[in-house]
Amino acid sequence: MRVRHLGARAREIRWRFTHTRRTRGLGAALGRLLAVARRWAFFRGDCFLYALPLAGRVATPPTDSPLTFREVTPADLPLLEKMRSPADALWYGLLLKRGRTGVLAFHADRPVAHGWFTAEVDLEIERTYVPLAPGEIFLFDLFTSPPYRRRGFQRALVRWMLALAGERGFRRALSLVAVDNEPSVRLHESLGFEVVCRFTKARVLGLTRFYFHPNPFGPRGSLIRWM
Ligand SMILES: CC(C)(COP(=O)(O)OP(=O)(O)OC[C@H]1O[C@@H](n2cnc3c(N)ncnc32)[C@H](O)[C@@H]1OP(=O)(O)O)[C@@H](O)C(=O)NCCC(=O)NCCS
């Protein structure tokens, strides 16, 4: 498994290098490669771990949305490749094989946004780690195509995913958001998510460690940003 994961990662890095060289030149491609190596050698980043109970208000699919939604199937990989990149499509193929649920949103038959959730988190697959209790799901890789942003599409998509998870008997959704990702922080808070803890991911020479710092301000802690 580890070998397959490393193979997929290597293909992804090679694809990104070639693509950046073609579109932005050799300098940019080398710069990007250096950034990947630097992140492998040392990386430290902070996220908020958000949670939302799936009972009640948000576990209702939006009825007033111009979008249609459906679960991702392997036949959608070319669509996802167009929205994101061939390297991402490789990853989405792996997610489907490992039973993760993806949802696509369409506007006038065009794919405009997607998101994923899972009931188990594997560092090798999700590339992050969150401890899940039975009945919990982890939302990840929420994405809206740039021309369609700020139209409420991701909020509608997340509500649809939460409704789907609620129907399947899940009772709580968790999500990780980089502390400086203002659009995503606001999106989560507009949906009623609250901060459970602050979470630090640190990597030194390929070894990854996670640190959880419980929210010292209780359930309303999302109102207060602490360092
Ligand atoms: C974060 C992201 C998914 C939001 O998608 P979106 O479809 O534009 O979001 P919505 O239009 O549904 O916005 C819902 C709410 O989120 C907040 N929001 C979204 N984009 C915002 C921005 N650029 N600045 C500030 N707030 C923003 C607002 O509160 C918004 O509600 P409002 O428009 O009524 O004020 C999108 O910006 C994206 O794909 N970013 C890159 C990938 C990413 O960072 N994903 C999140 C990983 S955790």
Return the pLDDT at 185.
96
Mutate to test the pocket of ligand 1, among 47, 186, 189, 222 (most ligand atoms within 8 A of CB): 186
DSSP code of residue 75: G
Confidence band of 60 (pLDDT split at 50, 70, 90)? low
Cα(25) to centroid(ligand 1), Å: 30
Model confidence pLDDT, tens digit, residues 100-157:
999 999 999 999 999 999 999 998 889 888 889 999 999 999 999 999 999 999 999 9
**Is residue 65 predicted with pLDDT exceeding 90?**
no
Mutate to test the pocket of ligand 1, among 58, 80, 155, 199 (most ligand atoms within 8 A of CB): 155
Query: Rg of the chain's alpha carbons, rounded to an integer?
Result: 18
Return the pLDDT at 1.
54
- Counting other chains too, the contacts that 5-12 makes at CB distance below 8 Å and 24 or more residues apart are 5/124, 5/125, 8/90, 8/91, 8/94, 11/87, 11/90, 12/87, 12/90, 12/91
Cα(10) to centroid(ligand 1), Å: 30
Q: Which residues are near ligand 1 (CB < 6 Å)?
A: 113, 142-144, 149-155, 177, 181-184, 186-187, 190
Highest mean pLDDT out of 62-76, 79-93, 98-112, 213-227: 98-112
Q: Among residues 86, 117, 114, 80, which one has the least CA distance to residue 8?
A: 86
More confident residue, 163 or 225: 163
Mutate to test the pocket of ligand 1, among 103, 144, 222 (most ligand atoms within 8 A of CB): 144
3-state secondary structure of 72: coil
**Ligand 1 atom nearest residue 155's Cα:** 12
List, in sequence order, every residue forming a beta bridge with 101; answer none if it has no partner.
Answer: 117
CB 72 within 8 A of CB 96: yes
Q: Name the CATH topology of 44-223.
A: Aminopeptidase (3.40.630)
Cα(181) to centroid(ligand 1), Å: 9
Which residue CA neighbors atom 3 of ligand 1 most closely?
143
Which residue CA neighbors atom 25 of ligand 1 most closely?
183
Return the pLDDT at 42.
87
Return the pLDDT at 221.
42
Percentage of the chain exceeding pLDDT 90: 60
Confidence band of 225 (pLDDT split at 50, 70, 90)? very low
